[in-house]
Chains A and B, each alone.
Chain A
C-alpha cells in the first residue's frame, strides 16, 4: 500500500472525482432499481441497453449531425422501446409459462449478449468519438478543478431521480405500478392492465439507460459496444448496496462505489479499482443483504 502524495487538495480532488464517477454509476443503477422495484427481476440486460442508448445517440448526433438534444430525445424513445421489446420477446413468454424467476434472470443475461454482439456487428468493435455535452470548461474551486460536465451529470441524475419518484408516487400509472409490485394477480382483478404496466416499467428502464448512456458518453467522449459490461456490473453493485428497488438508495450506493474507486486508485493503484466495487458487493451481500435502505420484505435478490 503506497501513501498518496499531496495534502488536502488531493484529498478533495479525489472526493470530487469519486462523487462524479459515483453519479455515473447512480444513473445506471437507477434503471436496475426501477425494474427490480416493480417486477422483482434483476434485469442484467440493462448494461447492454445502456450501450444501445449511447449508440443511438451516436448515430443521431455524429452521423446525422442533428445535435445533442435531439440525439438524447430519440435515444430515449428508441431505447425505451427496446426495453419493451426485450420484455415482449423474452420475458413475457416466461411469465405466461410461470417459469421460475431464475429463468428470467438468465434470459436477461442472454439478451445482454445478443444486444452487445449486434452492436459489434453493426458498429464495429472499435472505440468511437462522441461529442461533448454541456461543456463550459473547468471551474476552479480553490485548487480543485471541477469539470462543468461533471456538475451537469450530477444535476441530471438528481432530476431523473426526482422525475421517476414523482411518476411512481404521484401519478395514476405510478399507483398501478405499485399495485403490480404488491400483487400482480389482485391488480389484474382490479382492472389494471398488468402487461401494459410491465411494458411501461421497461420503457422507463430503457429511457433511463438512454439518458445515462448519452450523458456518460458525452462526458468521456467514447462509445464502444462493450461499454455496458463493467459499468453495468458496478451499477448493479451500487443498486444492491443502496438496497435494490429503492431509487434514492441507488444514488447513495453509486456515490459510495464511486468514492471507493477513486480512493482505491490513489492508495492501491489503478489496477485494483474494478475489484473494489465487487468487494463492496460481496461484503454487502454477506453483512446486510437488503442493502443500506433496503425494504424488509425483499427476500430474494
Chain B
C-alpha cells in the first residue's frame, strides 16, 4: 500500500516539475533577444506579409493569451507547428528521435559495459602499475572536448585509413524499406561506429571511476572480509559479492546519463552529420522557432524526469534497504 502511495506521490511531483519546465520554456525563448521574423528578412518582404506571418504564428496576441493557448494545446497533446518548417512539431521530432536514441543507447551501453568492467578490474588491481597508467588515461578522455575527439577520429579512421564513412546514417542514395531494415544493416553499423565511439569514449569515464570508487568502498566492508575468510575464490568475491553491491549507484548514473546525453549529442551529431534531435535543437534555437524548441526541450525534459523516476523506483526494488515510505 505504502508502495502505491509512493508511486502516486512521485507521479504528482512529475506533473508539477513538467508544468514548471513547460512554463520556463515558454517564457525563456520569448524573453530571449531575437525575433522569429529575422529568418524571413528579404528585400521582397512587405509590411503586410510581416503582419500576416505574425498572425499566422499567433505572435500578435498578448503573451498571457499565447501562454493559455500553448498550455491548452499541450494538454491535448498538440505541440503546434514549426515556424520554419511549417510542419507539425511532433512529426519532425519523431522523424529524428529514433536516430538520436539509437546513437545515445548504443554509445552508453558500450560506455557502461566497458566502464563497469574496467572500473571493477582497476579496483581489484589497486596500487598496481596498470592503475598508474589507466587512471590518468581515463581522466584525459574525460577532459577531451567531444568535438575535438570526434574530429581526430574522423581524421584518422575516415580520411586517413578510409575504414569508416564520414557522415550520415547510410551511403548516398541508399534506400531501405524501413528504419528497422536500416538499423539492422551492416552499412548502418559502419556509419554508426565513429559517432558512437566518440560518445562512448567520452562517456565511459564516469561509470568507470564511479564503479572503481564504489568497489573500493565495498571491498572494505565486513561481508567481503567475511567472504574471504570463508575461503571463496577471488573471482567470486569480486564479482558475486563486491561488484553486485557496487553496481547500484552506477545504474542510477546510467539513467541520468541517458537524459543528459540526449542534449549532449548536439556536438557529435554536427561533427558526424548525424540527422538527430540535437542538431535540430540548435537550429531551432537560432531561428527562434518557438514551437519546435519548446517541443524538443519538453521531450528531453520528460525523458530526464522519467529516467530519474525509474532510477528512483528501481533503487527500491534492487536494494530493499532503500524504502519509499
Q: Do A and B share a complex?
A: no
The interface of chain A, by Cβ under 8 A from chain B, is: none
